[in-house]
Amino acid sequence: MPNIVLVGGQWGDEGKGKIIDELSETADVVVRYQGGNNAGHTVKIGTDKYVLHLLPSGILHPGKVCVIGNGVVVDPVALMGEITALEAKGISVGGRLYVSDRAHVVFPYHSLLDACRENAATGERKIGTTKRGIGPAYGDKVSRVGLRMADLVDPSFRELLAVRLEEQNKVLQALGGEPLDARQVLDQYTEIACRISPYVADTILVVNRAVRDGKAVLSLTAGAFFGPFLGVSLSLLAVQSGNVGIASAIMSIVPVLIIAPSALILKEKVALREIIGSVLAVAGVFALFLA
């Protein structure tokens, strides 16, 4: 099996989970390299139902190594909730899950900022956010003020978070929101840091060592028309090259690309504009490789 990158050809919800689950059977390493816990896959195995927002669904396959890469923004509370839920069903992730030490962390103030902005918007100015703080977390990343997983597990974490809380509480109040209880947030995330620290690693090394050893790597992301750097207002080709380029840069490998537009692969009923979007997505990638 070659190294494969699976990219949704639309705005998400293309049914990638079904394809990922199939490809995961022959992959050794499954990598989530972008997005946050506003996305998700629902997988049914027999009578059991698993809803995953951050963990790659490859974690449900015994012996598969799963990676949450540095392009993901990680809500550590949500992630630990998923890990706990799986372990309650007898699925152990110990030794099989690696979370990038460079991935940025989603904190409660990100979710509140998300909600404040969405609630203040009217009509077409609303963006339909899930209010889970993904956009504001990427905003902090681009602004170079965000905290990473490496910071979360560092001894200086409380001091670093205290500075961010002081600033973000002022922003929340300016937007008409309620400030967070800094002590409560500091205590909660100090405790979660202890629980999540065994999973934090340099995932670039993890993936590259797997490639060096001849392992098959499967990488996945959200819809091609979403992205913190190359959004829907830019050209399709730029969005596609951004998604593929991010994966290649993170893994330092040249992958085989699979696009998963629901209209073309899963043959679902979709609007004409979505079919056109899927066709353009495929055409854009071919243009990228021919350029």
Active site residues per annotation? 13, 41
Tell me phi and psi for residue 31, to 5 degrees. Answer: -115, 130
Looking up tokens 């597990």 gives 153
Spatial separation of the C-alpha atoms in residues 154 and 48, rounded to whole Å: 37
**CB-based contact 106:81 (threshold 8 Å):** no
Max CA distance (Å), the chain: 55
Spatial separation of the C-alpha atoms in residues 70 and 3, rounded to whole Å: 18
Encoded tokens for 222: 């959200």
- Which is nearest to 168 in space by CA: 107, 118, 117? 107
Spatial separation of the C-alpha atoms in residues 4 and 179, rounded to whole Å: 44
Spatial separation of the C-alpha atoms in residues 105 and 249, rounded to whole Å: 21
- Which is nearest to 105 in space by CA: 153, 60, 58? 153
| DSSP code for 60 | G
Tell me phi and psi for residue 245, to 5 degrees. Answer: -65, -40
- Which is nearest to 169 in space by CA: 177, 161, 158, 159? 177
Spatial separation of the C-alpha atoms in residues 227 and 259, rounded to whole Å: 16
* One-letter amino acid for residue 8 of the chain: G
Cβ count near 163 (within 10 Å): 11
Spatial separation of the C-alpha atoms in residues 280 and 275, rounded to whole Å: 9
